[in-house]
Structure 1
Amino acid sequence: MTESNNNSLIMRALNAIERVGNKLPDPAMIFLISMLIIWGLSYIFSQMTFDAIDPRTGEAIVVNNLLTGDSLANFLSSMVRTFTGFAPLGVVLVAMLGVGVAEHSGFINAGLKLMLKVTPQALLTPSIILIAIVSHTATDAGYVLVIPLAGIIFYAMGRHPIAGIAAAFAGVSGGFSANFIPSGIDPLLQSFTQSGAQIIQPDILINPLNNWFFTSASSLFIILLGWYITDKIIEPRLQNTKVETDEDDDLPTFDELTAKDKKSFMIASGVMVLGLVLLYFAASSEDSPLRSPDGQLSSFSAPLMQSIVPLIFLLFWIPGAVYGFVSGSFKSSKDMIDAMTKSMNSMAYYIVMAFFCALFIAAFNNSNIGALMAIEGAELLKAAQLPSWLTIIGIIILTGIVNLFVGSSSAKWGLLAPIFVPMLMQLGISPDLTQAAYRVGDSTSNIITPLMPYFPLVVVYCQRYVKSTGIGTLISIMLPYSIALMVGWTIFLLIYWGLGIPLGLQSSYTYPAG
């Protein structure tokens, strides 16, 4: 079969997935229906006894019935808290308030025009993916900042904006475990890995950067893979998809900036740089209130890491306002408030989806069904007694499947680490390699599951350019990335392992370390 026939077959398959997926109910209704299904399953499974042991409690896993009177009463009484406490909701809305001012004042537009003059179009895709990968350092900043800006940048360059969104989404979420820069996720996963390893060796210590070399090398692999898929598969497929934008969208064009625009941008950029300098000095001292109690800046408990979203708000809102008033695009404070209102108008659909998504995720967590799936899957893998390399592949595949239903990386590893880590230690495989395998599986299926909290937000980003975008559209666009990452990244890990390249600091491939 020729390459053109292969490409045609792939395109037909993706088009079929898109058609089927878009025939599904609206995403908000999918979450509602899924919640009702979880309720029903919780009733059925609560009548059963399971032998699987919950590693968090040391007791047999129990599914909670969500259809009891007490459970339904708690559902109603906590509905508002469940919605307002849905973490992605606050992250998105607060960040978008600041970004909205910067966008509608023209600050982002001006910055992109200047950037596009110096960025070779041939390197645009890998540059976007690189920025998306590095954005992991700032927790969820990539979802609310990098992904929508990637669409704008591609649009300004005359390329299809959905391809830009897809490339950034693949870097932010599909390559979630790849990064050159250590982030809070490293010590978070290490803590679960170490606890699991101490079941076998109570005095063992795991370095928080035990996977740093591997995740750094993975970044290069993901950039190259994402570059190829975006330019050779995704964008050609989008050629016949017409871009539709609203007339009042402040999207950049190729027209030249005026002298006043350039002056306004330089002043606003100076204000942004000044803010970053002040932040640096505020965080640099050892007794800085932005540090965690143990003096760290990058741990999840550090106020700096917990302030990333408010900082995004300020670092875009203040320069955006300065640009608006200096350039004349803002005549009064009302214009600035109107810009923030306009950004919230674009989030209305996401807020509705977030309401039902929050209720579904709460029901799924409260039922314990996700924990049951993870533990039973791990026990089946353990019972299979596969060779070491097949066991690593099995961990990656199982994690990817569980990830379709349980979004939180730490929650999954909290369940799986006490099973996987000691099991593989008894096979002579180090905790460091087990954690690396988990990180690959945890990343690759993020971009194709509607149950991932930010998935509906990416649908909204796409609808800015193609109104008919639905769940099926986004899944069909992201599926090539997901499959390529699952297969390619797994092979990359096996080759990396085979070459004996260190996984990270104080890491090993074997147990005991040899």
Structure 2
Amino acid sequence: MTQATDTPNNAPGGFLGAVERIGNRIPDPAMLFIALLFIVWVLSWLLSYVSFSVIDPRTGEALVVHNQLAGSSMTTFFSKMVTNFSGFAPVGTVLVAMLGIGVAESSGFINAGLKAMLGVTPRVLLTPMVVFVGILSHSAIDAGYVLVIPLGGLIFYAAGRHPLAGIAAAFAGVSGGFSANPAPSALDPMLASLTQVGAGILDADIITNPLNNYYFTAVSSLLIVALAWYITDRVIEPRLQRTVVDGDLDDLPKMDHLGAAERKGLAAAMGVMVLGLVVLFLTALPEGSAWRDATGSLTNFTSPLMQSIVTLIFLLFLLPGIVFGLVAGTITSSKDMIRGMTKSMESMGYYLVIMFFIAQFVYAFNVSNLGALMALEGAQALKAMALPWYITIIGIVLLTGFVNIFVGSASGKWGLLAPIFVPMLMTLGISPDLTQAAYRVGDSSTNIITPLMPYFPLVVIYCQRYVKGTGIGTLAAMMLPFSITFLVAWTTFLLLYTFTGWPLGVAASYTYPAG
């Protein structure tokens, strides 16, 4: 790869350069969340004396901001500090998956797999391949954040392209295209169930199909791949040519040709991986499978299969990694396996520090009701405008995108907004299915530019592996073109899709009453 002479701290000019310079002046992410925690405490204290007329859909009563500086709140906060951290979902998800990935990487399995893949994938198709794999990872909930995004950097670096461009492409697919997927995912029934709750406020008999947006999200995956492909190759990577790759490159896989031992090890490891997937498929297929929940579903969040995704990823890399090492001779004892796990955990130290403070901020922000206040007041303001239906749809997309910068959870936001948006638009003749589709566009498009998203600091760490000076501003500036393009193009696509009358999903409609 041709090395450049500039560093992220000497960012190029223009709007993106300004975003990068300003963003990199923001304090370290850990300090940022400490400051935000204090801001939440002070705001909750001040706003706890204000009476709000907006109704909290969770209680049916006027929303109340809870003072987090009150004695009882502070003692509760201190008592929950440990469990806030240990029970914070991104922590366990990342660490458990990294144990298996660490063995697969240290044994050389990932390295050999990348060599084989690069041998059959044309260089020109690397970008759409990375983006598309990122989109497919949604079927495994948050697996893409710990698997696809770092591999995106490795793949691009191995191909002689800038690794940060690979990370950006993967991040765009995994997070920016979160609601685009050609395969059903656990997100579909979760959002549909909340939509039905909102619709039930006006119509107790309405039934929302879990795949009510499936056709739209499937076609949207093609749009996201095309947009991300163009932005990565034509906007991001040319700009990154001025950014020097100065990370600890000695730890990265060497992408020479596969040796005989590697070929044997890879064949054996892939055989084990395929065998594992076949066993999983055969055990999940029967109607009475233990992988299914009480309703017989495999894709609901309550199903053992969905709840075991991280464990399955751990095994999916651990077992082939061990087999590869034994066959190729890179693992000679159990100490080598444990050493690989240990090395992967050593790289997660900084991430754990950041996650500790993020977990405390998220707890305080949620229990104070500040996030709920922001979402509900915005929804009420949109309702009061009484705009035409297509302008209202655009308004929902934009409001959702704005709220998403502060409230990251897709289910948490929709749990708050669905009881407002869905019945409000039903009175305008807009179906719950279309309202949900608009929400999904706004929710996805701004994921990749908010440092408040729990996985954002993890992506910064991935970037620092290649470019030591990477900061929040570097990543935000890199992802901003994706976010703006997705927001505009995807919203336009939704409106055009609506005008064509193509079905949104299974048993879905555009109007209410359905017609």
Normalised by the size of structure 2, how large is the TM-score? 0.97
1:248 Cα deviation from its structure 2 partner: 4.1
**Alignment partner, residue 95 of structure 1:** 97
Q: What amino acid is the match of 2:71?
A: G
CA contact (8 A) 1:11 1:237 kept: no
Q: Where does residue 5 of structure 1 map in the other structure?
A: none
Any idea what the Cα deviations from partners look like across 1:246-292, whole Å, max 9, x if unmatched? 25414232x21111110111111111111111111221122111111
Q: Which residue of 1 aligns with 2:201?
A: 199
Letter of the structure 1 residue corresponding to residue 247 of structure 2: T
- Alignment-derived partner of residue 371 in structure 2: 370
Judge which range, 296-305 or 277-286, deviates more. Answer: 277-286
| 1:385-436 Cα distance to aligned partner (Å, 9 max, x none) | 1111100000000000000111111111111111111111111111111010
Mapped pair 1:80 → 2:85: no
Of 496-505 and 30-39, more deviation after overlay is shown by 496-505
Report the residue type matching 1:331 in the other structure: T
In structure 2, the residue matched to 1:166 is: 168
Q: Any stretches of 5+ residues in structure 1 without a counterpart?
A: 1-9
> Once superposed, what is the RMSD of the aligned Cα atoms?
1.2
1:243-282 superposed matches below 5 A: 243-246=245-248, 248-253=250-255, 255-282=256-283
- CA deviation map 1:82-103 (0-9, x unaligned): 0001100000000011001101
Counting only pairs closer than 5 Å after superposition, residues 381-420 of structure 1 correspond to structure 2 as 381-420=382-421
Deviations 1:354-378 (A, max 9, x none): 0001011011001000000000000
Distance in structure 2 (CA, Å) of the matches to 1:80 and 1:119? 46
**Aligned with residue 151 of structure 2, among 134, 144, 149:** 149
1:105 equivalent among 104, 107, 115: 107
Do the aligned partners of 1:103 and 1:250 also contact (CA within 8 Å) in 2? no
Secondary structure at the aligned position of 1:78 is classed as helix
For 1:366 and 1:201, the matched residues in 2 are separated by 30
Mapped contact 1:98–1:317 kept (Cα < 8 A): yes
Q: In structure 2, which of residues 181, 184, 188 is the aligned counterpart of residue 179 of structure 1?
A: 181
Distance in 1, matches of 2:309 and 2:439, equals: 26
Q: Distance in 1 between matches of 2:503 and 2:330?
A: 54
What displacement does 1:11 show?
A: 5.8
Distance in 1 (CA, whole Å) between partners of 2:459 and 2:179 is 19
| Alpha carbons 1:165, 1:462 under 8 Å: kept | yes
Checking the alignment, whether the CA contact within 8 Å between 2:58 and 2:416 is kept in structure 1 is: yes
Partner in structure 2 of residue 355 of structure 1: 356
Does the 8 Å CA contact 1:163/1:235 hold for their aligned counterparts? yes
Q: Could you say if the C-alpha distance between residues 376 and 506 of structure 1 is closer, same or farther in structure 2, counting changes exceeding 3 Å? A: same
- For the residues of structure 1 that align with 2:483 and 2:294, how far apart are their CA atoms? 39
Instruction: State how far apart, in whole Å, the 2-side matches of 1:349 and 1:408 are.
Output: 23
1:23 aligns with one of 22, 25, 44: 25
Distance 1:247 1:466 in 2: 10
Partner Cα separation in structure 2 for residue 40 and residue 119 of structure 1: 54
Equivalent residue number for residue 6 of structure 2: none
Partner amino acid for 1:277?
Answer: V
Alignment partner of 2:291: what SS? Answer: coil
Partner residue in 1 for 2:343: 342
Alpha-carbon distance in structure 2 between the residues aligned to 1:316 and 1:164: 21
Are 1:211 and 2:248 matched, yes or no? Answer: no
Amino acid at match of 1:272: M
Q: Which moved more, 1:221-230 or 1:323-332?
A: 323-332
Residues 295-339 of structure 1 show CA distances to partners (whole Å, capped at 9, x for unaligned) of: 111111110110000010011011111111221212221111111
Contact 2:247 2:464 in 1 (8 A): no
Q: Deviations over 1:224-264 (max 9, x none)?
A: 000000000000000011112325414232x2111111011
In the alignment, which of 61, 64, 69 is matched to residue 62 of structure 1?
64
Indicate conservation of the 8 Å contact 1:189/1:413, yes or no: yes
Letter in structure 2 aligned against 1:444 = S
Q: State the alpha-carbon separation in 2 of the partners of residues 235 and 126 from structure 1.
A: 14
Query: What is the 5 A alignment of 1:483-502?
Result: 483-502=484-503
Instruction: Give 1:201-240 correspondences, 5 Å limit.
Output: 201-240=203-242
Please report the TM-score for the alignment, with normalisation by the length of structure 1: 0.97
Return the offset for 1:46: 0.3
Residue 331 of structure 1 corresponds to which residue in structure 2? 332
Aligned: 1:477 with 2:452 = no
Paired position in structure 2 for 1:116? 118
Aligned residue identity for 2:38? L
Aligned residue number for residue 34 of structure 1: 36
2: CA distance, partners of 1:105 / 1:246: 19
Q: Is there any run of 5+ residues in structure 2 with no aligned partner, and where?
A: 1-11
User: How many Å separate the matches in 2 of 1:36 and 1:509?
Assistant: 44
Distance in 1 of aligned mates of 2:508 and 2:74: 48
One-letter amino acid matched to 2:107: S
**For 1:299 and 1:72, how far apart are their aligned partners in 2?**
36
Whole-angstrom CA distance in 1 between matches of 2:500 and 2:395: 21
1:46 aligns to what? 48
Alignment match, 1:4: none
Question: Paired residue for 1:452?
Answer: 453
CA contact (8 A) 1:121 1:157 kept: yes
Structure-1 separation of matches of 2:514 and 2:133: 35
| 1:100–1:342 CA contact under 8 A, matched in 2 | yes
Could you give the per-residue CA deviations for residues 408-467 of structure 1, whole angstroms, max 9, x where no partner exists?
Answer: 111111111111111111111111110100000010110000110111110110010001
Question: How do 1:423-434 and structure 2 match up within 5 A?
Answer: 423-434=424-435
Question: Is the contact between residue 249 and residue 466 of structure 2 (CA under 8 Å) also seen in structure 1?
Answer: no
Cα deviation, 1:195-224, whole Å, max 9, x if unaligned, reads 111211111111111111100111000000
Contact 2:441-2:487 at 8 Å conserved across structures: yes
Show the counterpart of 1:421: 422
Q: 2:85 aligned with 1:71, yes or no? A: no
Task: Return the alpha-carbon distance in structure 2 between the equivalents of residues 145 and 384 of structure 1.
Answer: 43
